[in-house]
Amino acid sequence: MQASPAIAAVPAGAGEDAAIVIEDVDKHFGDVKALRGLSARIHYGRLTGLVGPDGAGKTTLMRILTGLLVPNAGHVTLAGYDVVKDNDAIHVASGYMPQRFGLYEDLSVMENMRLYAQLRGMDADRNADLFAELLDFTRLGPFTKRLAGKLSGGMKQKLGLACALMARPKVLLLDEPGVGVDPVSRQDLWRMVQALTDEGMAVVWSTAYLDEAERCESVLLLNQGKLLFDGPPQELTAQLEGRSFRLEDVGAERRAVLTQALDLPSVSDGVIQGAGVRVVLREGAQAEQLQALSDQARVELAQVPARFEDAFIDLLGGGPGGTSTLAERLPPVELGSDIAVSCRNLTKRFGEFTATDKVSFEVQKGEIFGLLGPNGAGKSTTFKMLCGLMKPTAGEAHVVGHDLRRATGAAKSRLGTWRRSFRSTACSRCSRTWNSRPASTDWKATPGASALPR
């Protein structure tokens, strides 16, 4: 493992003193209350997760901590400095990686690092050793001449992290660093953050992904600007002990069974998990209604360990019911076949580079099907071909009965798309997934994808 970059001296007694102190902070934008009476402490040598759904106030709090926003009320100190009165000192004591890539895509990796050093008031020519240390730590050494715009999502995050560490900060603020990053690169980010906290740095990791939150030593759970929980994630999970169940081996009827379960007054939340249905009971509820549903479906009901996600959703008041108002308004989808999408040896090459190689799969009517793989695996290329936005080099694809080689317009008229620039997602709710590796034919069907977080 690469050694972490040397950080600024952490104050004596760092194990006792807080790196960040937040006291009764309010922030509003017109009539919108982004933060409401927030108070918390974040300590050195610890990874703290700032957790909550979109719109919870995570980014607003992050910008206050960096001195980019001024609270309407309350008081915040970072590394002993007031974020309003000592704004210049805050920028030296902290490193900040924003939610969106904030570096110059038309500059190379090294050019971005040199520019960032100069903006920090550092002499780039005299810091070659620091650059080498950061490049080794982030594993970007072989890519110093590559343009930032040509980097994968994970490599862009590593470059952002290298720049955030340039001034050897005491506190590192990461605003949703895992968004759009493949699992391999995300593991690298975790490795680097762990090395930094081991050296005594305070790291705040903002996220809406609950599997990320569960890996933090402590979490601040926000919703609608309010702090709902402050402590280790295991403590919140323990509050749901005995309330999580799974209807086993439901099979093809799992969606209907989930709908019935979510409509039960005793159920707080539920989700399809592989071939089964996972259900969380409301506080104080008994399992009689769930057992009756299990008997009706002729499947086994088993109590399972609670997850942080179960506790999170329950704390927010539970998930949605089993009836979708939107789905009720939509007419049934009529297809001439049970196969909605099919691919046979679908291949796309860009010059000598093969983006997808002989990909074959089928998607049944009514099925949620996931494409799963790291950056560069060919997921977006496959999607673009299926949407008629890109012609395959070889192979064939049919969407709702239309051959994309001849009827791309007709196929487009039957498709709805959601671009990844808004939010990437895991495939744990998918009925099946296809796993791929870059430039290979290793596509493998995985029913249920139950090993992944929701």
pLDDT tens, position by position, 113-124: 898 888 878 887
Q: Are 306 and 244 in contact (CB under 8 A)?
A: yes
Q: What is the pLDDT of residue 141?
A: 87
Query: Is the confidence at residue 339, as pLDDT, over 60?
Result: yes
Q: Rounded to an integer, what is the distance from CA 3 to the centroid of its chain?
A: 26
Work out the pLDDT band at 40, boundaries 50, 70, 90.
Answer: very high
Query: Is the confidence at residue 429, as pLDDT, over 80?
Result: no
Q: What is the pLDDT of residue 442?
A: 45
More reliable by pLDDT, 61 or 339: 61
More reliable by pLDDT, 70 or 7: 70
21-35, 121-135, 387-401, 414-428: segment of lowest average pLDDT = 414-428
Q: Are 40 and 100 in contact (CB under 8 A)?
A: no
38-42, 211-215, 315-319: segment of lowest average pLDDT = 315-319
Give 115: exposed, middle or buried? Use CB within 10 Å, 0-12, 13-18, 19+: middle
User: What integer is the mean pLDDT of 137-160?
Assistant: 83
Q: Tell me the H-state helices in 316-348.
A: 325-329
Q: What is the pLDDT of residue 166?
A: 82
Give 90: exposed, middle or buried? Use CB within 10 Å, 0-12, 13-18, 19+: buried
Tokens, residue 295: 């008997």
Query: Is the confidence at residue 421, as pLDDT, over 60?
Result: no
Q: What is the pLDDT of residue 156?
A: 83
Q: What is the pLDDT of residue 10?
A: 46
Spatial separation of the C-alpha atoms in residues 103 and 272, rounded to whole Å: 40
Tokens, residue 12: 């004596």
Tell me which residue has tokens 């919108």.
Answer: 32
The DSSP 8-state label assigned to residue 333 in this structure reads P
Sheet with 301-303, strands from edge to edge, namely 267-273, 276-281, 244-247, 301-303
More reliable by pLDDT, 325 or 316: 316
User: What integer is the mean pLDDT of 349-356?
Assistant: 87
What CA–CA distances, in Å, run from 371 to 56, 151, 361? 29, 21, 11
Query: Is the confidence at residue 3, as pLDDT, over 70?
Result: no
Q: What is the pLDDT of residue 148?
A: 86
Work out the pLDDT band at 434, boundaries 50, 70, 90.
Answer: low
Tell me which residue has tokens 């590593």.
Answer: 158
Query: Is the confidence at residue 445, as pLDDT, over 50?
Result: no
Q: What is the pLDDT of residues 239-261, one digit of tens each?
A: 999 999 999 999 888 888 999 99
Which DSSP string corresponds to 414-425?
T-----TTT---
22-31, 346-355, 407-416: segment of lowest average pLDDT = 407-416
Q: Are 443 and 436 in contact (CB under 8 A)?
A: yes
Question: pLDDT exceeding 70 applies to what percent of the chain?
Answer: 85
Q: Which residues contact 377 (CB under 8 A, 6 or more apart)?
A: 182, 436, 437, 438
Q: What is the pLDDT of residues 50-97, one digit of tens each?
A: 999 888 999 999 999 999 999 999 999 999 999 999 988 998 899 888
Mark residue 238 as left, alpha or beta (left: phi above 0; alpha: psi -120 to 50; beta: remaining).
alpha
Q: What is the pLDDT of residue 27?
A: 97
User: What integer is the mean pLDDT of 322-335?
Assistant: 72
Work out the pLDDT band at 179, boundaries 50, 70, 90.
Answer: confident
Q: What is the pLDDT of residues 369-399, one digit of tens each?
A: 888 777 677 888 888 888 888 888 999 888 8
Q: What is the pLDDT of residue 176?
A: 84
Query: Is the confidence at residue 200, as pLDDT, over 60?
Result: yes
| C-alpha dihedral sign at 6, 59, 207, 85 | positive
Q: What is the pLDDT of residue 418?
A: 65
Query: Is the confidence at residue 433, as pLDDT, over 70?
Result: no
More reliable by pLDDT, 108 or 400: 108
Spatial separation of the C-alpha atoms in residues 20 and 150, rounded to whole Å: 36
Q: What is the pLDDT of residues 265-304, one digit of tens each?
A: 999 999 988 889 999 999 999 999 999 999 999 999 999 9
3-state secondary structure of 89: helix
Helix then strand then coil, in percent of the chain rounded to 5, is 30, 30, 40
More reliable by pLDDT, 88 or 409: 88
Q: Which of 129, 173, 178, 130 is nearest to 158 (CA)?
A: 178
More reliable by pLDDT, 68 or 335: 68
Which DSSP string corresponds to 247-269?
ETT-GGGHHHHHHHHHTSTTEEE
Beta-bridged to residue 244, according to DSSP, are: 280
Query: Is the confidence at residue 422, as pLDDT, over 70?
Result: no
32-41, 162-171, 298-307: segment of lowest average pLDDT = 162-171
Q: What is the pLDDT of residue 369?
A: 83
